[in-house]
Structure 1
Amino acid sequence: MNITYDPQKDLRNQTERGISLSEAANQDWDSWLGAEDVRRDYGEVHYRGYAIMPAENRLYCVVHTYREDAIRIISLRKANSREVVLYEATKQTT
Protein backbone atom coordinates (compact mmCIF):
# COMPACT_ATOMS: atom_id res chain seq x y z
CA MET A 1 0.00 0.00 0.00
CA ASN A 2 1.48 3.33 -1.08
CA ILE A 3 0.93 6.01 1.60
CA THR A 4 1.56 9.69 0.83
CA TYR A 5 1.06 12.91 2.78
CA ASP A 6 2.03 16.57 2.77
CA PRO A 7 5.40 17.00 4.56
CA GLN A 8 4.36 20.35 6.09
CA LYS A 9 1.11 18.87 7.39
CA ASP A 10 3.12 15.95 8.77
CA LEU A 11 5.34 18.30 10.78
CA ARG A 12 2.26 20.10 12.12
CA ASN A 13 0.61 16.79 13.02
CA GLN A 14 3.76 15.66 14.86
CA THR A 15 3.86 18.92 16.83
CA GLU A 16 0.14 19.06 17.64
CA ARG A 17 -0.67 15.36 18.02
CA GLY A 18 2.64 13.64 18.64
CA ILE A 19 2.42 11.27 15.68
CA SER A 20 3.71 11.30 12.12
CA LEU A 21 1.27 10.82 9.27
CA SER A 22 3.64 8.11 8.04
CA GLU A 23 2.45 5.94 10.95
CA ALA A 24 -0.83 5.44 9.10
CA ALA A 25 0.98 2.79 7.06
CA ASN A 26 1.33 0.77 10.28
CA GLN A 27 -2.39 0.70 11.00
CA ASP A 28 -4.31 -2.52 10.69
CA TRP A 29 -6.23 -1.39 7.62
CA ASP A 30 -8.35 -4.56 7.84
CA SER A 31 -9.75 -3.15 11.09
CA TRP A 32 -10.62 0.18 9.42
CA LEU A 33 -14.21 1.25 9.93
CA GLY A 34 -15.50 4.50 8.51
CA ALA A 35 -17.26 6.27 5.71
CA GLU A 36 -17.08 9.20 3.35
CA ASP A 37 -16.80 12.49 5.22
CA VAL A 38 -19.68 14.60 3.90
CA ARG A 39 -19.64 17.29 6.59
CA ARG A 40 -18.41 19.81 4.01
CA ASP A 41 -17.07 20.11 0.47
CA TYR A 42 -13.34 19.42 0.56
CA GLY A 43 -12.88 19.60 -3.20
CA GLU A 44 -12.21 15.86 -3.20
CA VAL A 45 -13.69 12.82 -1.49
CA HIS A 46 -12.43 12.40 2.07
CA TYR A 47 -12.89 9.28 4.16
CA ARG A 48 -12.92 9.47 7.94
CA GLY A 49 -12.56 6.31 9.94
CA TYR A 50 -10.89 4.39 12.69
CA ALA A 51 -8.33 1.60 12.75
CA ILE A 52 -6.18 -0.16 15.30
CA MET A 53 -2.49 0.68 15.55
CA PRO A 54 -1.14 -2.81 16.43
CA ALA A 55 2.11 -1.66 18.05
CA GLU A 56 0.09 0.26 20.64
CA ASN A 57 -3.12 -1.79 20.46
CA ARG A 58 -4.88 1.56 20.33
CA LEU A 59 -7.58 3.00 18.10
CA TYR A 60 -6.68 5.93 15.84
CA CYS A 61 -8.80 8.25 13.73
CA VAL A 62 -7.51 8.63 10.19
CA VAL A 63 -8.76 10.91 7.44
CA HIS A 64 -7.59 10.06 3.96
CA THR A 65 -8.36 10.32 0.27
CA TYR A 66 -7.35 8.31 -2.76
CA ARG A 67 -4.99 9.84 -5.30
CA GLU A 68 -3.95 7.82 -8.31
CA ASP A 69 -2.41 4.63 -6.88
CA ALA A 70 -1.91 5.93 -3.34
CA ILE A 71 -3.73 6.64 -0.13
CA ARG A 72 -3.09 10.25 0.85
CA ILE A 73 -3.24 10.77 4.60
CA ILE A 74 -4.83 14.04 5.65
CA SER A 75 -5.04 13.59 9.42
CA LEU A 76 -4.08 11.03 12.05
CA ARG A 77 -4.79 11.19 15.78
CA LYS A 78 -5.67 9.00 18.75
CA ALA A 79 -9.38 8.26 18.92
CA ASN A 80 -11.13 9.76 21.93
CA SER A 81 -13.09 7.65 24.43
CA ARG A 82 -16.45 8.39 22.76
CA GLU A 83 -15.07 7.25 19.39
CA VAL A 84 -13.65 4.06 20.93
CA VAL A 85 -17.06 3.15 22.40
CA LEU A 86 -18.79 3.82 19.06
CA TYR A 87 -16.16 1.82 17.14
CA GLU A 88 -16.50 -1.19 19.46
CA ALA A 89 -20.30 -1.10 19.31
CA THR A 90 -20.28 -0.85 15.52
CA LYS A 91 -17.72 -3.66 15.11
CA GLN A 92 -19.94 -5.97 17.20
CA THR A 93 -22.90 -5.39 14.89
CA THR A 94 -21.04 -5.82 11.58
Structure 2
Amino acid sequence: MLISYDEQKRAETLEHRGLDFADAGEVLFSDEPLLEALDDRKEYGEQRWQTMGPFRGDIVMIVWTLRDGAHRIISMRKCNDREKGKYHATVDRSG
Protein backbone atom coordinates (compact mmCIF):
# COMPACT_ATOMS: atom_id res chain seq x y z
CA MET A 1 0.00 0.00 0.00
CA LEU A 2 1.20 3.47 -0.84
CA ILE A 3 1.58 6.44 1.51
CA SER A 4 1.66 10.07 0.37
CA TYR A 5 1.83 13.36 2.24
CA ASP A 6 2.68 17.03 1.96
CA GLU A 7 6.43 17.39 2.58
CA GLN A 8 6.11 20.71 4.45
CA LYS A 9 3.42 19.33 6.77
CA ARG A 10 5.57 16.22 7.31
CA ALA A 11 8.55 18.37 8.32
CA GLU A 12 6.41 20.48 10.69
CA THR A 13 4.94 17.38 12.35
CA LEU A 14 8.37 15.82 12.70
CA GLU A 15 9.75 18.99 14.29
CA HIS A 16 6.82 19.70 16.63
CA ARG A 17 5.61 16.19 17.50
CA GLY A 18 8.57 13.94 16.73
CA LEU A 19 6.40 11.84 14.40
CA ASP A 20 7.20 11.22 10.74
CA PHE A 21 4.40 10.78 8.20
CA ALA A 22 6.74 8.40 6.35
CA ASP A 23 6.29 5.96 9.26
CA ALA A 24 2.47 5.98 9.12
CA GLY A 25 2.44 2.66 7.29
CA GLU A 26 3.82 0.99 10.43
CA VAL A 27 0.42 1.73 11.97
CA LEU A 28 -1.98 1.64 9.03
CA PHE A 29 -0.71 -1.64 7.58
CA SER A 30 0.27 -3.47 10.75
CA ASP A 31 -1.29 -6.63 12.11
CA GLU A 32 -2.03 -4.86 15.41
CA PRO A 33 -5.64 -4.02 16.34
CA LEU A 34 -6.71 -0.62 15.02
CA LEU A 35 -9.67 1.63 15.74
CA GLU A 36 -10.93 3.38 12.62
CA ALA A 37 -13.75 5.86 12.22
CA LEU A 38 -14.95 8.11 9.44
CA ASP A 39 -14.26 11.75 10.34
CA ASP A 40 -17.58 13.35 9.46
CA ARG A 41 -17.41 16.34 11.83
CA LYS A 42 -17.18 18.67 8.83
CA GLU A 43 -17.53 18.49 5.06
CA TYR A 44 -13.95 18.14 3.86
CA GLY A 45 -14.70 17.47 0.20
CA GLU A 46 -13.34 13.93 0.61
CA GLN A 47 -13.76 11.09 3.08
CA ARG A 48 -11.31 11.40 5.95
CA TRP A 49 -10.54 8.56 8.30
CA GLN A 50 -9.18 8.58 11.85
CA THR A 51 -7.09 5.55 12.75
CA MET A 52 -5.76 4.83 16.24
CA GLY A 53 -3.12 2.19 16.74
CA PRO A 54 0.11 1.25 18.49
CA PHE A 55 3.33 2.87 17.34
CA ARG A 56 6.70 2.33 18.99
CA GLY A 57 5.36 1.94 22.51
CA ASP A 58 2.62 4.54 22.30
CA ILE A 59 -0.81 4.95 20.69
CA VAL A 60 -1.11 7.40 17.80
CA MET A 61 -3.95 8.96 15.83
CA ILE A 62 -3.53 9.25 12.08
CA VAL A 63 -5.99 11.18 9.94
CA TRP A 64 -5.88 10.17 6.28
CA THR A 65 -7.82 9.98 3.05
CA LEU A 66 -7.56 7.85 -0.06
CA ARG A 67 -6.18 10.00 -2.86
CA ASP A 68 -4.79 8.84 -6.20
CA GLY A 69 -4.54 5.25 -4.99
CA ALA A 70 -2.55 6.11 -1.86
CA HIS A 71 -3.24 6.72 1.80
CA ARG A 72 -2.70 10.50 1.96
CA ILE A 73 -1.63 11.42 5.50
CA ILE A 74 -3.28 14.58 6.80
CA SER A 75 -2.08 14.48 10.41
CA MET A 76 -0.35 12.22 12.91
CA ARG A 77 -0.13 12.73 16.65
CA LYS A 78 0.15 10.86 19.92
CA CYS A 79 -3.22 10.09 21.48
CA ASN A 80 -4.25 11.80 24.70
CA ASP A 81 -5.09 9.79 27.82
CA ARG A 82 -8.82 9.67 27.02
CA GLU A 83 -8.17 8.34 23.52
CA LYS A 84 -5.67 5.78 24.82
CA GLY A 85 -8.27 4.59 27.32
CA LYS A 86 -10.85 4.22 24.56
CA TYR A 87 -8.38 2.30 22.40
CA HIS A 88 -7.36 -0.11 25.16
CA ALA A 89 -10.94 -0.64 26.38
CA THR A 90 -12.11 -1.48 22.86
CA VAL A 91 -9.16 -3.72 22.02
CA ASP A 92 -9.36 -5.55 25.35
CA ARG A 93 -13.10 -6.20 24.81
CA SER A 94 -12.59 -7.53 21.31
CA GLY A 95 -10.01 -10.03 22.44
Tell me the TM-score normalised to structure 1 length: 0.87
Higher strand share: 1
CA distance in structure 1 between the aligned counterparts of 2:79 and 2:64, rounded to whole angstroms = 15
Give per-residue Cα distances to partners, 1:1-31, cap 9 Å, x unaligned.
1111010111111122111111102225442
Q: Which residue in the other structure is 1:41 paired with? A: 43
* Structure 2 stretches lacking a partner, 5+ long: none
Q: Which residue in the other structure is 1:18 paired with? A: 18
Q: Which residue in the other structure is 2:59 paired with? A: 59
Structure 1 vs Structure 2: percent identity of aligned residues? 36
What's the CA shift for 1:64?
0.5
Tell me the TM-score normalised to structure 2 length: 0.86
Q: Structure 1 residue 92 and structure 2 residue 55: aligned?
A: no
CA distance in structure 2 between the aligned counterparts of 1:41 and 1:93, rounded to whole angstroms = 32
CA distance in structure 2 between the aligned counterparts of 1:26 and 1:34, rounded to whole angstroms = 15
Q: Which residue in the other structure is 2:52 paired with? A: 50
CA distance in structure 2 between the aligned counterparts of 1:71 and 1:32, rounded to whole angstroms = 16
CA distance in structure 1 between the aligned counterparts of 2:84 and 2:23, rounded to whole angstroms = 19
Deviating above 6 A after TM superposition, structure 1's stretches of 4 or more consecutive aligned residues are none
Residue-pair matches, total: 92
